């Protein structure tokens, strides 16, 4: 029998054991990965936990703390002295360290500088924004005349994959393979499929790196940054480069693809919002923030560094903590009537935490926002009278990201046949 990820999590970590230090009144079964309600509406499920204790303990998946207020989630993201990045998911992944995601300052800072200062320079970002437009035009040229598409497979996944390929300096013909491996890693139907996708991507990246490092000149943004970088005066090792390139794929594709899909679904179901962003493009920056808030996707992990009482809650060294952007974005104390999308809502940016905060704050946030802007300025207008295909099932899944597995669309846009 094929073992599912759920079986494995259950086997490996057990459910329901309550550690002695956890006050029983703080225990609430919040299954951020497998609760049955997630398939239909993950945000309704998450929102149901924002009105109880500020921080509670979920006994499933080995047990973990869950802060359920935007302000506390933001504070923990920044509190590197008390919360470590040493474990990157709940349950902990069967993988080597991920550089720099699983490192803490000061080690983290040395590697993070390579990304922030050598890869994502203002010039590089400007050229990537041009790439977003060009790749979108190519994908739309194929999809628009058809009058229908499966948005995830046809646009939302290939778009960030192509962008990462440009960053890596890889040829575009790798796109189909990499897109499929990323699907397997994040949405495989079994642990085996997930691991196969991971191994295929990791193996492919390793071979490619070896080949490229043997050359004198290097394409893209990533290789030149790796080759020039120094850590305590020494060059990066092969393993470090391998881990960092894998992280770009792991962190940049499924996140961007999921966020684009949720936003696209919203526009497919709300013609008045579609008309507004076309009629009043000045609304777009607020629309980007509001959709990031309403459809928070990132489920990030921290580890408690030392025994402590944090905001009245007794935490033990090694306890895991889940920082869910959906819980921050749907906190009714911070955002009244949180389930309603309101492009005129004040005070969203800086409170909703879609990209975290502090030293690990997402270095791809600018690109992610540009991808959403591109959806609103290029994709939505081109799809015209777009709607969800009648009778389409829209199953969600939750893990490190909250995503929609497929989004079948139909339209009668300017280019539709
Ligand atoms: C909507 C899309 C995205 C969302 C919601 C998102 C969310 C996040 C969050 C919440 C973190 C913080 C993790 C932590 O605190 O431990 C993060 C880190 C990271 N993200 Fe993103 N991300 C997105 C897109 C991207 C893109 C497009 C890229 C790259 C091209 C990227 C690369 C990274 C990397 C490398 C890290 C690790 C940074 C570090 O540990 O210092 N992300 N992302």
pLDDT tens by residue, 394-410: 999 998 999 999 999 99
Amino acid 6: pLDDT: 39
- 217 Cα: distance to centroid of ligand 1 (angstroms): 28
Band (pLDDT 50/70/90 cuts) for residue 31 is very high
Band (pLDDT 50/70/90 cuts) for residue 63 is very high
CB of 355 sitting under 6 A from ligand 1: yes
- Gyration radius of the chain's alpha carbons: 21
Residue scoring higher pLDDT (2 or 13): 13
Instruction: Give, in degrees to the nearest 5, the angle at Cα 119 between 113 and 123.
Output: 120
Helix extents (H) in 312-364: 325-329
SS3 203: helix
Q: Which of 321, 324, 304, 343 is closest to 402 using CA atoms?
A: 324
Domains and CATH numbers, the chain: 5-410 (1.10.630.10)
- 357 Cα: distance to centroid of ligand 1 (angstroms): 10
Amino acid 171: pLDDT: 86
Residue whose CA is at the smallest distance from ligand 1 atom 27: 252
Task: Please check the confidence at residue 227 and state whether its pLDDT lies above 60.
Answer: yes
CB of 301 sitting under 6 A from ligand 1: no
Length of the chain, please? 417
Amino acid 12: pLDDT: 35
Q: Which is it for the CA torsion 286, 291, 296, 298, positive or negative?
A: negative
CA 325, chain centre distance (Å): 10
**What are the residues facing 39 on neighbouring strands?**
none
Task: Please check the confidence at residue 416 and state whether its pLDDT lies above 90.
Answer: no
- Asked if 366 and 292 touch (Cβ cutoff 8 Å), the reply is no
The number of the ligand 1 atom at minimal distance from the alpha carbon of 108 is: 41
Here the tokens at position 257 are 């693809």
Amino acid 96: pLDDT: 66
- 58 Cα: distance to centroid of ligand 1 (angstroms): 25
Amino acid 186: pLDDT: 83
- 18 Cα: distance to centroid of ligand 1 (angstroms): 32
CB of 252 sitting under 6 A from ligand 1: yes
Residue whose CA is at the smallest distance from ligand 1 atom 41: 360
Residue whose CA is at the smallest distance from ligand 1 atom 40: 101
Instruction: Tell me which of 221, 251, 252 to substitute to probe ligand 1's pocket, judged by most ligand atoms within 8 Å of the beta carbon.
Output: 251
- 271 Cα: distance to centroid of ligand 1 (angstroms): 30
- 116 Cα: distance to centroid of ligand 1 (angstroms): 12
- 127 Cα: distance to centroid of ligand 1 (angstroms): 20
Task: Please check the confidence at residue 417 and state whether its pLDDT lies above 70.
Answer: no
Residue whose CA is at the smallest distance from ligand 1 atom 14: 360
The number of the ligand 1 atom at minimal distance from the alpha carbon of 244 is: 35
212 φ/ψ sector (left φ>0, alpha ψ -120 to 50, else beta): alpha
Residue whose CA is at the smallest distance from ligand 1 atom 36: 362
Task: Tell me what the mean pLDDT of segment 5-26 comes to.
Answer: 64
Mean pLDDT, the chain, rounded, equals 92
CB of 298 sitting under 6 A from ligand 1: yes
- Asked if 414 and 394 touch (Cβ cutoff 8 Å), the reply is no
CB of 53 sitting under 6 A from ligand 1: no
- CB-based contacts of 348, cutoff 8 Å, min separation 6: 286, 289, 290, 293, 335
> In this prediction, what percent of the chain has a pLDDT beyond 90?
85
CA 8, chain centre distance (Å): 23
Task: Work out the angle between the directed axes of helices 238-269 and 191-213 (0-180°, nearest 10).
Answer: 130
Pairwise CA distance, residues 174 & 161, whole Å = 9
Q: Which of 414, 392, 387, 323 is closest to 65 using CA atoms?
A: 323
**What are the residues facing 66 on neighbouring strands?**
56
Pairwise CA distance, residues 298 & 320, whole Å = 16
The string of pLDDT tens digits covering residues 77-132 is 999 999 999 998 898 877 668 999 999 999 999 999 999 999 999 999 999 999 99
């Amino acid at each position: 029998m094929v073992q599912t990820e759920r079986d494995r999590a259950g086997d490996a970590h057990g459910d329901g054991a309550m550690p002695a230090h956890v006050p029983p009144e703080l225990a609430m079964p919040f299954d951020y990965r497998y609760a049955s309600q997630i398939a239909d509406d993950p945000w309704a499920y998450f929102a149901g936990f924002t009105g109880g204790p500020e921080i509670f303990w979920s006994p499933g998946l080995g047990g973990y703390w869950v802060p359920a207020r935007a302000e506390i989630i933001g504070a923990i993201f920044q509190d590197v002295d008390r919360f470590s990045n040493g474990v990157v998911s709940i349950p902990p992944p069967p993988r080597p360290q991920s550089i720099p995601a699983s490192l803490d300052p000061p080690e983290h800072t040395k590697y993070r500088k390579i990304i922030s200062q050598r890869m994502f320079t203002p010039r590089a970002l400007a050229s990537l924004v041009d790439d977003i437009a060009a790749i979108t035009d190519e994908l739309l040229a194929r999809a628009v005349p058809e009058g229908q598409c499966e948005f995830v497979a046809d646009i939302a996944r290939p778009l960030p994959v192509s962008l990462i390929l440009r960053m890596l300096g890889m040829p575009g013909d790798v796109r189909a393979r990499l897109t499929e491996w990323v699907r397997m890693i994040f949405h495989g139907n079994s642990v085996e499929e997930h691991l196969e996708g991971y191994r295929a991507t990791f193996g492919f990246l390793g071979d490619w790196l070896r080949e490229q490092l043997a050359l004198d000149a290097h394409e893209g943004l990533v290789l030149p940054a790796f080759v020039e970088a120094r850590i305590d005066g020494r060059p990066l090792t092969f393993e470090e480069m391998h881990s960092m390139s894998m992280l770009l794929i792991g962190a940049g594709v499924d996140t961007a693809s999921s966020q684009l899909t949720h936003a696209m679904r919203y526009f497919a179901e709300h013609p008045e919002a579609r008309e507004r962003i076309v009629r009043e493009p000045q609304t777009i920056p607020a629309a980007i923030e509001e959709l990031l808030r309403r459809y928070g996707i990132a489920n990030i992990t921290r580890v408690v560094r030392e025994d402590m009482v944090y905001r009245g809650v007794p935490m033990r060294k090694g306890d895991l903590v889940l920082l869910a952007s959906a819980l921050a974005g749907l906190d009714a104390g911070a955002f009244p009537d949180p389930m309603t999308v309101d492009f005129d809502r004040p005070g969203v940016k800086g409170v909703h935490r879609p990209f975290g905060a502090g030293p690990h704050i997402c270095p791809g946030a600018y690109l992610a926002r540009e991808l959403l802007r591109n959806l609103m300025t290029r994709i939505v207008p081109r799809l015209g009278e777009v709607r969800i295909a009648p009778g389409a099932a829209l199953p969600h899944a939750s893990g490190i990201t909250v995503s929609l597995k497929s989004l079948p669309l139909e339209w009668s846009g300017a280019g539709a046949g």
